[in-house]
Amino acid sequence: MFEENAVCKMLGLKYPIFQGGMAWLGTAELASAVSEAGGLGIIGAGHMPPDVLRAEIQKVKKATKKPFGVNIMLMSPFVKEVMQLMLDERVPVVTTGAGNPGEYIPSLKEIGTKVIPVVASVALAKRLVRTGVDAIIAEGMESGGHIGELTTMALVPQVVDAVDVPVIAAGGIGDSRGICAAFALGAQAVQMGTRFVMSEECIAHENYKNLVLKARDRSTVITGRTTGHPARVLQNKLTRIYLEKEAAGASAEELEKLGLGTLRMAAREGDVEMGSVMIGQISGMMNDIKPVRVILEDLVNGVSAVAENARKNFR
């Protein structure tokens, strides 16, 4: 299966499944497990200083010979140094998020790195394709963390129609049904974050994973709509305080301060009361924690039955 898939061929993957490059959660352990099992593992650089990121990259290179990626958060204070590190380490795939990576694309392309930005709009997708990116990740607002305004269902087909490079769908995809739905919209691969947070290899604190196990369909909320940096997180004490202040007209500066360092608090220290538990809307269907290899096998093994089931409605 997937021998003719354009994204698998371009990147040398067994499965057209990316693991989202999540800050504090997309570590070398998770990324190398996903790549070794046939998907694309992605280190989440977040706000990592370059020396820490270099060590993570070297860990992945030691653990697997398969292709892997690094996600660069464009709001990071280290973005320039981190981009130079991509060149020094000849990272095979670079994905970007939370901004426009335009100025960095030519030098990455020059050394053969595949550049695949995450976008939340057709306009940015079109602009970036003109600068020579290899594919586009179209991410809907069902995703955890920093999000745009459109849903995956509305965004993906519009991006597919607007660009001539492969599109990877992200946001709200957690099982074989989501993969088939993404393919039906014209995507040629998927990216998943939440599903891989709920893996044995993800180092998220057990409090974080346990809270996701308890999540229901409406357990996430969006903070930061007024700051220009909206983010989807599980509702907790922090979000209740944050949203109350936001509704009362608190300044962007005060709100940003309230959120500072809170992802690390939740993901690593296990403070899921006053930390940011970033997770997607599909957290309501996460009922188990499995090894990465089993997650990928279950996803892939399920697609034929889902496609067949969908076809029944046409007969």
Say whether residue 73 binds ligand TUI (CB under 6 A).
Answer: yes
- When CB distances to ligand TUI are compared, the closest residue is 145
Q: CB 3 → ligand TUI: shortest distance, Å? A: 30
How far apart, in whole angstroms, are the C-alpha atoms of residue 2 and residue 103? 33
**Cβ-based nearer residue to ligand TUI, 150 or 180:** 150
Least distance (Å) from ligand TUI to the CB of residue 153? 16
The contact pattern for ligand TUI, residues 84-103, with x = CB under 6 A and - = no contact, is: -------------xxxx---
**Residue pair 53/28 in contact by the 8 Å Cβ criterion:** no
Establish if 229 lies at the interface with ligand TUI (CB under 6 A). Answer: yes
SS3 for the chain, per residue?
CCCCCHHHHHHCCCCCEEECCCCCCCCHHHHHHHHHCCCEEEEECCCCCHHHHHHHHHHHHHHCCCCEEEEEECCCCCHHHHHHHHHHCCCCEEEEECCCCHHHHHHHHHCCCEEEEEECCHHHHHHHHHCCCCCEEEECCCCCEECCCCCHHHHHHHHHHHCCCCEEEECCCCCHHHHHHHHHCCCCEEEECHHHHCECCCCCCHHHHHHHHHCCCCCEEEECCCCCCCEEEECCHHHHHHHHHHHCCCCHHHHHHHHCCHHHHHHCCCCCCCCCCECCHHHHHCCCCECHHHHHHHHHHHHHHHHHHHHHHHC
The answer to whether the beta carbons of residues 198 and 269 sit under 8 Å apart is no
Interface stretch with ligand TUI, choices 32-40, 49-57, 139-147, 156-164 (CB under 6 A): 139-147
Interface pick for ligand TUI out of 33, 147, 155, 197 (rule CB under 6 A): 147
Q: Which is nearer to ligand TUI, 147 or 202 (CB)?
A: 147
* d(C-alpha 151, C-alpha 138), whole Å: 10
Neighbours of 284 (CB within 10 A): 18
63: which 2 tokens?
A: 């653990």
Binding track, positions 189-228, relative to ligand TUI; x by CB under 6 A:
----------------------------------------
75 binds ligand TUI (CB under 6 A): yes
Could you tell me the smallest distance in angstroms from the CB atom of residue 25 to ligand TUI? 10
Does 148 help bind ligand TUI (rule: CB under 6 A)? yes
Q: Which is nearer to ligand TUI, 160 or 279 (CB)?
A: 279
Contact characters 100-119, ligand TUI, x per CB under 6 A: x-----------------xx
Regarding 231 and contact with ligand TUI (CB under 6 A), the answer is yes
Nearest to ligand TUI of 176, 191 (CB atom): 191
139 is an interface residue for ligand TUI by CB under 6 A: yes
73/108 with CB nearer ligand TUI: 73
The yes or no reply on residue 120 touching ligand TUI (CB under 6 A) is: yes
79 binds ligand TUI (CB under 6 A): no
**What minimum distance in Å lies between the beta carbon of 284 and ligand TUI?**
19
Binding site for ligand TUI (CB under 6 A): 23, 46, 73, 75, 97-100, 118-120, 124, 139, 145-148, 229, 231, 278
